């Protein structure tokens, strides 16, 4: 990008500028200098100017531009700072779809892959050259440049359509606002990259957040993908996002001709992108002359994974020569000329210090291992669920054991095994409690289930869980009423059962330390609002074992009043489609207990709605709906709407969405690149096949 000579000169000039006066003659030079320092800082990772001096120059530039707004250059570093909020992230189509990659897991897989490439490209002899890149674990983005200027940035989205995030991209120092693609005859270019946060910066951000009492990020990837979608673009900048470019996916000249082939190889286009000022990963060992070298490169990345300052979860092996790439082509799902090499799941060793027990809202006891805090795949792990007694006995886990823990991607940490050979004899066998650790009543376990359960309805710890669940978003959704309120009010003796939530004395609450008039009123309003909830929410909120959101909704459709369920029989429940005998038994059990009925009656007397509301009633679909009583399935990539939207529309048209092609299927709506489902439907012969347009036509005038 810059020769050593130029760099030296720029550094000298920058020093002189600190005291110089800025005018029309040297404004453009200062823009160039600051662009150079941004590049040194964000792309080259070798800043040569102190932050303080950078700020002096930057402010100088800003002051000049404030007085001379007409002269501001489009690529001036000041133009990165965005004051606009992105109202929403509109969907935009990628110029070239972003496909995913096929996976490989070891050298043998890659040997096989090489054999496949030879077959496809008809190259029986000689080595094929590959380019091996680290597979960054961040958020994928696509950048479009036109006429040398950054026009648009988008997230990966579903691969065909992404969410536009140009404002967020513009503030990131590693993305040039201007890049002279025209030098290479390129008018429109689409680049692929990954936005990541360096591990050391991530730690700093989390430390700062923790100090400020903010929630910390689970891992750099979450912080990065979230950072791309911030409404306030300046927040994206604060997260320290960097963008590594790994692919030139589209390059056309003014006449619309493909100019990619002229660059000859993937390594050629990466070298060009580096020349243009983009951040790329380029190391000697990435350019591999054969699959053997490529395998070695993958293994090297895996070995050095921890020492690398960015989270990577694999490597990507790409056929380097564009001509061979073209011979290989792509399947519907992935390009054949590239393959991911997945690293083994990350493991760490730690000591199992103790076991604690947690209780759920239905009384299930979960053992949780307390371990010596250990860093694993971007998070510090100090407690890990051990699920149930069987998990402990099967793995023979003991207190004091050295255990191997694992975490792959988003998966929560997991104990793989204990290392028996490291035992000293001091380890203690874990005795699963026979009594509830909270209320001391005897634990019970039903046959063929794994969990021990405290069946004491009055168990305090369980009640705390149930009340916390009752007020939560998923259940009665009482805004602002969290676990700490439940704990405080319970301690005061105000909450003996859930009905008490609706009979609180707000004057007394207002006088509590840390509350006051305003928060008490706010709470009162939120509770009063919850009193009017549809009864499906009330049913969920009762913490009846196995009764989830869907079953609650189905039952609420069928009853006028919640207490009607006192008289319901198993048959009545199981006549409802999708409700089985297990749910029926638990609901019947709940409504057979007089103490539960009392609680519900008290709730009603405090104004809680127990009667079916309009929101509880099933949506009425008239018989003349275009797809009334029909089954429908969407396949392939839809162009005008997401799959989810399409399914909701189909339901509104009276159809039922099903997931497989069979003779029960009435309509198959075929998006782009539909595959096996379309073939199967054609074979069956009775399925009506619709294009997306035809489906849209059907809903015209009805929705």
Which residues sit at the interface with Zn ion, rule CB under 5 A? 436, 438-439, 454, 456, 459
Unique residue bearing structure tokens 């990619």: 260
Report the residue number, 355 or 454, with the smaller CB distance to Zn ion: 454
**Shortest CB 595 distance to Zn ion, Å:** 16
Cβ distance to Zn ion smaller for residue 28 or 455 = 455
d(CA 26, CA 11): 16
Catalytic residues: 135
Q: Which phi and psi angles does 631 have, rounded to 5°? A: -105, 150
Q: Which of 642, 686, 490 is nearest to 160 (CA)?
A: 642
Q: Which of 552, 561, 615 is nearest to 579 (CA)?
A: 552
Residue 189 phi, psi (nearest 5): -135, 140
Q: Which is nearer to Zn ion, 456 or 635 (CB)?
A: 456
The count of other CB atoms within 10 Å of the CB of residue 368 is 15
- Cβ closer to Zn ion: 358 or 596? 358
Query: Nearest approach, Cβ of 363 to Zn ion (angstroms)?
Result: 7
Q: Which is nearer to Zn ion, 249 or 443 (CB)?
A: 443
Nearer to Zn ion, 400 or 437 (CB): 437
Question: Which residues lie across from 152 on neighbouring strands?
Answer: 144
Shortest separation between residue 443's beta carbon and Zn ion, angstroms: 8
185 exposure class (CB count in 10 Å sphere: 0-12, 13-18, 19+): middle
Nearest to 654, CA basis, from 630, 687, 634, 635: 630
Residue environment code for 456-492, b if the CB has 16+ CB neighbours within 10 A, otherwise e: beebebbbbbbbbbbbbeebbebeebeeebbebbbee
Backbone phi and psi for residue 454, each to the nearest 5 degrees, phi listed first: -90, 120
Pairing type for strands 365-376 and 346-359 reads antiparallel
Helix segments in 376-422, DSSP class H: 389-395
- CA-based nearest residue to 320, from 376, 397, 267: 267
Full DSSP string of 230-283: -SBHHHHHHTT-EEEEEEEEEEE-TT--B-GGGG-BHHHHHHHHHHTT------
Copy the structure tokens of residue 576. Answer: 């409802």
**Shortest distance, CB of residue 454 to Zn ion, whole angstroms?**
3
**Phi, psi (5° rounding) for residue 187?**
-100, -45
Is the Cβ of residue 202 or residue 438 nearer to Zn ion in the bound state? 438
Which of residues 170 and 466 has its CB atom nearest to Zn ion in the complex?
466
Residue for token pair 């009979």: 503
CA 189 to centroid of chain Cα atoms: 28
Query: Smallest distance from the beta carbon of 676 to Zn ion, in angstroms?
Result: 51
Name the nearest CA neighbour of 477 among 517, 516, 534, 518: 534
- Token look-up 């919640």 returns 562
d(CA 363, CA 545): 9
Of 238 and 593, which CB lies nearer to Zn ion in the complex structure? 593
Chain centroid to CA 96: 23
Q: Are 165 and 154 in contact (CB under 8 A)?
A: yes
In the bound state with Zn ion, the residue whose beta carbon lies nearer, of 325 and 462, is 462
Nearer to Zn ion, 340 or 459 (CB): 459
In the complex, the smallest distance separating the C-beta of residue 618 from Zn ion, rounded to whole angstroms, is: 39
Q: How far is the CB of 433 from Zn ion (least distance, A)?
A: 10
> ∠ CA 326-331-336 to the nearest 5 degrees?
50
- Sign, Cα dihedral of 102, 103, 109, 111: positive
Closest distance of CB 393 from Zn ion, Å = 22
Report in angstroms how near the CB of residue 624 gets to Zn ion at its nearest. 56
Contact at 8 Å (CB) between 418 and 352?
yes
Instruction: Calculate the CA dihedral of residues 318, 324, 326, 331 and round it to 10 degrees.
Output: -60
* Nearest-approach distance from CB 315 to Zn ion, in angstroms: 51
**Beta partners for 398?**
429
DSSP structural state of residue 606: T
Provide the 10 A C-beta neighbour count for residue 607: 12
Q: Element (H or E) spanning 539, and its range? A: helix 535-541
What region does 402 belong to: left with phi over 0, alpha with psi -120 to 50, or beta? beta
Nearer to Zn ion, 298 or 443 (CB): 443
Note whether 405 and 350 are within 8 A (CB). Answer: yes
Q: What is residue 563's three-state secondary structure?
A: helix
Q: Is 338 exposed, middle or buried (0-12, 13-18, 19+ CB in 10 A)?
A: buried
Alpha-carbon distance values, 476 to 363, 430, 464, 529, 535 (Å)? 20, 38, 15, 10, 10
The Cα–Cα gap between 279 and 175 comes to 8
Q: Which is nearer to Zn ion, 240 or 363 (CB)?
A: 363
The CB-of-441 to Zn ion minimum distance in angstroms stands at 5
Shortest distance, CB of residue 456 to Zn ion, whole angstroms? 5
Q: Write down the least CB distance from residue 455 to Zn ion, Å.
A: 8
């Amino acid at each position: 990008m810059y020769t050593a000579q130029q760099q030296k000169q720029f550094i000298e000039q920058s020093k002189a500028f600190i005291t110089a006066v800025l005018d029309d003659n040297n404004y453009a030079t200062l823009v160039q200098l600051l662009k150079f320092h941004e590049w040194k800082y964000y792309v080259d990772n070798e800043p040569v100017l102190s932050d303080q001096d950078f700020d002096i120059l930057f402010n100088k530039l800003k002051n000049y531009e404030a007085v001379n707004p007409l002269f501001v250059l489009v690529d001036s570093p000041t133009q990165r700072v965005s004051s606009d909020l992105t109202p929403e992230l509109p969907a935009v189509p990628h110029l070239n779809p972003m496909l995913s990659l096929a996976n490989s897991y070891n050298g043998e897989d890659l040997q096989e892959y090489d054999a496949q490439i030879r077959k496809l490209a008809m190259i029986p002899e000689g080595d094929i050259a590959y380019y091996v890149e680290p597979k960054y674990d961040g958020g994928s983005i696509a950048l479009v440049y036109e006429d040398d200027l950054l026009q648009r940035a988008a997230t990966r989205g579903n691969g065909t359509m992404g969410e536009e995030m140009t404002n967020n991209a513009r503030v990131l120092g590693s993305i040039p606002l201007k890049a002279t693609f025209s030098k290479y005859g390129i008018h429109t270019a689409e680049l692929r990259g990954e936005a990541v946060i360096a591990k050391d910066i991530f730690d700093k951000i989390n430390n700062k957040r923790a100090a400020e009492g903010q929630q910390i990020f689970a891992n750099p990837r979450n912080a990065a993908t979230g950072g791309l979608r911030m409404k306030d673009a300046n927040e994206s900048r604060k997260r320290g996002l960097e963008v590594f470019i790994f692919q030139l996916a589209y390059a056309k000249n003014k006449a619309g001709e493909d100019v990619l082939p002229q660059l000859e190889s993937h390594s050629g286009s990466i070298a060009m992108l580096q020349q243009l000022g983009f951040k790329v990963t380029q190391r000697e060992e990435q350019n591999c002359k054969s699959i053997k070298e490529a395998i070695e490169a993958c293994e090297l990345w895996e070995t050095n994974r921890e020492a690398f300052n960015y989270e990577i979860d694999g490597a990507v092996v790409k056929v380097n020569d564009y001509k061979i790439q073209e011979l290989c082509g792509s399947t519907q799902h992935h390009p054949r000329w590239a393959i991911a090499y997945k690293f083994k799941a990350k493991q760490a060793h730690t000591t199992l210090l103790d076991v604690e027990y947690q209780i759920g809202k239905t009384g299930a006891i979960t053992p949780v291992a307390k371990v010596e805090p250990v860093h694993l795949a971007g998070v510090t792990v100090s407690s890990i669920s051990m699920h149930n007694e069987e998990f402990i006995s099967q793995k023979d886990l003991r207190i004091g054991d050295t255990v191997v823990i694992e975490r792959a991607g988003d998966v929560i940490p997991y104990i793989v095994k204990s290392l028996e050979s490291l035992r000293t004899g001091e380890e203690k066998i874990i005795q699963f409690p026979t009594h509830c650790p909270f209320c001391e009543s005897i634990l019970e376990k039903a046959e063929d289930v794994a969990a021990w359960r405290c069946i004491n309805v009055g168990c305090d710890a369980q009640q705390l869980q149930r009340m916390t669940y009752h007020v939560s978003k998923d259940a009665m959704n009482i805004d602002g009423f969290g676990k700490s309120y439940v704990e405080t009010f319970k301690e005061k003796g105000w909450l003996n059962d859930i009905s008490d939530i609706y009979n609180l004395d707000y004057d007394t609450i207002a006088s509590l330390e840390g509350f006051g008039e305003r928060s008490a009123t706010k709470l009162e309003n939120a509770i009063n609002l919850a009193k009017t909830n549809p009864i499906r929410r009330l049913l969920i909120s009762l913490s009846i074992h196995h009764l989830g959101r869907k079953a609650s909704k189905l039952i609420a459709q069928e009853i006028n009043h919640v207490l009607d369920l006192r008289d319901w029989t198993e048959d009545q429940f199981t006549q409802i489609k999708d409700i089985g005998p297990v749910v029926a038994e638990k609901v019947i059990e709940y409504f057979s207990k007089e103490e539960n009925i009392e609680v519900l009656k008290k709730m009603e007397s405090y104004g809680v709605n127990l009667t079916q509301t309009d929101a509880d009633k099933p949506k009425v679909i008239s018989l003349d709906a275009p797809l009334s009583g029909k089954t429908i399935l969407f396949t392939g990539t839809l162009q005008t709407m997401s799959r989810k939207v399409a399914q909701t529309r189909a339901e509104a048209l009276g159809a039922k969405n099903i997931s497989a092609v069979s003779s029960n299927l009435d309509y198959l709506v075929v998006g782009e690149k539909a595959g096996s489902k379309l073939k199967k439907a054609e074979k069956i012969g009775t399925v009506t096949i619709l294009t997306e347009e035809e489906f849209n036509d059907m809903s015209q005038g009805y929705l």
